Structure 1
Amino acid sequence: MTANTKPATRPGNPNFSSGPCAKRPGWTLDGLKDAPLGRSHRAKIGKAKLAAAIDKTREILQVPADYRIGIVPASDTGAVEMALWSLLGARPVDMLAWESFGSGWVTDVIKQLKLDARKLEAGYGELPDLASVDFSHDVVFTWNGTTSGVRVPDADWIPADREGLVICDATSAAFAQKLDFAKLDVVTFSWQKVLGGEAAHGVLILGPRAVERLESYTPAWPLPKIFRMTKGGKLNEGIFKGETINTPSMLCVEDYIDALDWAASVGGLDGLCGRADANAKVLADWAAKTPWVDFLAADPAIRSNTSVCLKIVDPAVTALDEKAQAAFAKAIVSALDAEGVAYDIGSYRDAPAGLRIWCGATVEAGDLAKLTPWLDWAFEAEKAKLATA
């Protein structure tokens, strides 16, 4: 194949967006035929569906029996905000950030809540010094940095005898990376990521220590209704049994149940993690033999297996100024979009210029293998334009 010859085969599914993500293999609208549309979520059937979603989440994610699981408004953002505004303020806070969303939580805590917080930050592609975290403080961190392609390698850096709470935004990690719940007091995610569910709903998981904080501490600021998790000083247990704070979409809940059933059919958590690992390996093997591209995260131990972030390292491109490099990367993205080969694979708007390709469990490794020659084709086509400019 010459540099400018289009590859002969295309991915069967070109949806490589990092959120909302690809639907599960074989998904059809027919899988949602049992959704109780036009019914109240507080009716018996609505409550049963919500409870089923919670129970299946516990089973697939292997959430301990004494942890509560609630379906909450506004995607992962809503779940994180509920935790920050309801739980923080009782002690100092260590905020860890190495990408856009973690930096957003820093803004919330320091500029909005105006708390005594310490920032531990790192640039895109790196992690902060985890050994320097003070666990006498509350700690907020993102397990998998969706916009940087960097994840924590494990939870070994979190002590079992910590004094503060550990609040973990796990939205691009849940269902693709094993979370050590014993080290995490709060876990949040949205099902639109690894399971490819429909957007707008979040999941909030509270451990016993977080519940104790809620029942013993009242923040100094007023809480909007959708943030309130207690009644009369006690946890509102209904939230964690499917009695949601506001009205959920029963169609989206049905779609989530469908995805959870599929997850069980591919081997549960082990199967999901295995699929994501295999997907990421396709790109890793290609990058290892491709001189024009490299991972944003230099250390393989902290590379994400879901939101794979790549940078263009060809000298002809790196010699360009920052604006021109961004334009080059966007041209590759646009070319693949126009061909119907890959949609939504540009790097996040705040991240360094490059590519971001979703490798979560709903993506097929065969589609990624078919994508890589197209990546090479698009790169060579754009580089040829540089030579004639």
Structure 2
Amino acid sequence: MALAAAKPDTRPANPQFSSGPCAKRPGWTVAALESALLGRSHRAKNPKARLAEVIDRSRAILGIPADWRLGIVPASDTGAVEMALWSLLGARPVDVLAFESFSQTWATDIVKQLKLADARVLTAPYGKLPNLADVDFTHDVVLAWNGTTSGVRIPNGDWIPAQREGLVIADATSAAFAMDLPWDKLDVVTWSWQKVLGGEAAHGMLALSPRAVERLTTYKPAWPLPKIFRLTSGGKLTEGVFKGETINTPSMLCVEDAVDGLRWAEGIGGLKALIGRSEASLAAIAAWVAKTDWADFLAEAPATRSCTSICLKITAPWFTALAPEAQAEAAKKLASLLEKEGVAYDIGSYRDAPPGLRIWAGATVETADVAALLPWLDWAYAQVAASYTTQAAE
């Protein structure tokens, strides 16, 4: 397609496409926080009830089975995942699916920090998934349901047996509330407030199946656990964690914001509507990619393309001929142009990912804003491409 020399006439109404913290819900203002229970103990009756409200509304929207436990834990999704790894692993061999930055981090923790000798790391380069048929479900399995830094997602849970010996631990931070998670195929699911519903950072959510609870109460890891990881006492589950009694002190301002996001989600139609909003934005980008001769999805298989962290690679010959450092510089210039124009903030690819763009399209992002951004991508690319091709000609 022809490169856009003139600036587009339409701008996104909201230029916030960061992959975390993510855009606030449509219509959000600080007035949404006026009822925050500030200056109160989080253990007092009303603040504790507000924490429990986050748990209850999250459970209802996501369709979490009634016999699962759901709690608020420290340190965002990272804290929730680490809590699961350090508390549950070691009882049997482990398979880790590593196909982008964060899933590789979990693999590193398991192999180098927990030092589990019977851990297998099933790897794939950015843009692909490991061979799911290689997973051994007599082992515990650790995976990211959606690769936030690669834009590659697990397409479904059909490959996971309902009857399995090991636990399946899923980091779903950029999947929860935007993808239909197969709860019967999972045992631990984690996420944070700062992704699909646009909440604030530092708080994680930890969902445990009955099988995961059984592991917690019957297995003691060989290593010591710090206080913020402890979910049991005297061999029994600490039930208060799953009723709003957090392990550490939460921000009641962030709690109020999380409640606001959940109420908004309910008001627009719940999980089905949230998924629909994200998928509509993915469809808009897919239609643009189909007509574009310089960009493509980083995720190679269409079924694995994320509808939240949508990662694009630059395919133009002049770009692919550059050295890796020069590619990174060119991609950064493209993202900087968009930020300078005020049409897109924070859409450069993750620092460990291949150079390109990453557009967040979680449920709080309007598809109309994504559609308005796309001509600007062509415009910014044209400016960068012209500068590089001119240099080459000289």
Task: Tell me the TM-score normalized by structure 2.
Answer: 0.98
Relative to structure 1, the CA distance from residue 55 to residue 118 in structure 2 (aligned partners, 3 Å threshold; closer, same or farther) is same
**Residue 136 of structure 1 aligns to a residue in which SS?**
coil
Q: 1:282: which partner in 2?
A: 284
Q: State whether residues 3 and 382 of structure 2, in contact with CA within 8 Å, keep that contact through their aligned partners in structure 1.
A: no
Deviations 1:269-296 (A, max 9, x none): 0000000000111111111101000001
**Residue 224 of structure 2 aligns to a residue in which SS?**
coil
Q: Which runs of 4+ in 1 moved over 2 A?
A: 1-4
Q: State whether residues 175 and 196 of structure 2, in contact with CA within 8 Å, keep that contact through their aligned partners in structure 1.
A: yes
| Structure 2 residue ranges without an equivalent (≥5) | none
Q: Which amino acid aligns with 1:350?
A: D
- Indicate the percent of aligned positions where both proteins have the same amino acid: 69
Q: Which amino acid aligns with 1:228?
A: R
Distance of 1:387 and 1:278 partners within structure 2? 35
Q: 2:61: which partner in 1?
A: 60
Answer yes or no: is 1:254 the counterpart of 2:256.
Answer: yes
Counterparts of 1:186-201 in structure 2, within 5 Å, are 186-201=188-203
Answer yes or no: is 1:17 the counterpart of 2:22.
Answer: no
**Residue 260 of structure 1 aligns to a residue in which SS?**
helix
Counterparts of 1:15-94 in structure 2, within 5 Å, are 15-94=16-95
Counterparts of 1:153-232 in structure 2, within 5 Å, are 153-232=155-234
Distance of 2:4 and 2:183 partners within structure 1? 48
Q: 1:344: which partner in 2?
A: 346
Distance of 1:197 and 1:27 partners within structure 2? 11
Deviation at 1:2, TM superposition (A): 7.3
Q: State whether residues 231 and 238 of structure 2, in contact with CA within 8 Å, keep that contact through their aligned partners in structure 1.
A: yes
Distance of 1:353 and 1:388 partners within structure 2? 21
Q: 1:367: which partner in 2?
A: 369
RMSD of aligned alpha carbons: 0.8
Distance of 1:22 and 1:222 partners within structure 2? 38
Distance of 2:376 and 2:323 partners within structure 1? 25
**Residue 90 of structure 1 aligns to a residue in which SS?**
coil
Q: Which amino acid aligns with 2:158?
A: D
Q: Which amino acid aligns with 1:117?
A: A
Distance of 1:32 and 1:280 partners within structure 2? 31
Distance of 1:237 and 1:246 partners within structure 2? 15
Deviations 1:33-88 (A, max 9, x none): 11100000000011110011100001111100000000000000000000000000
**Residue 259 of structure 2 aligns to a residue in which SS?**
helix
**Residue 179 of structure 1 aligns to a residue in which SS?**
coil
Task: Tell me the TM-score normalized by structure 1.
Answer: 0.99
Q: Which amino acid aligns with 1:86?
A: S
Distance of 1:6 and 1:161 partners within structure 2? 56
Q: Which amino acid aligns with 1:84?
A: L
Answer yes or no: is 1:109 the counterpart of 2:107.
Answer: no
Deviation at 1:388, TM superposition (A): 2.1
Q: 1:307: which partner in 2?
A: 309
Q: State whether residues 16 and 345 of structure 2, in contact with CA within 8 Å, keep that contact through their aligned partners in structure 1.
A: yes
**Residue 205 of structure 2 aligns to a residue in which SS?**
strand
**Residue 361 of structure 1 aligns to a residue in which SS?**
coil
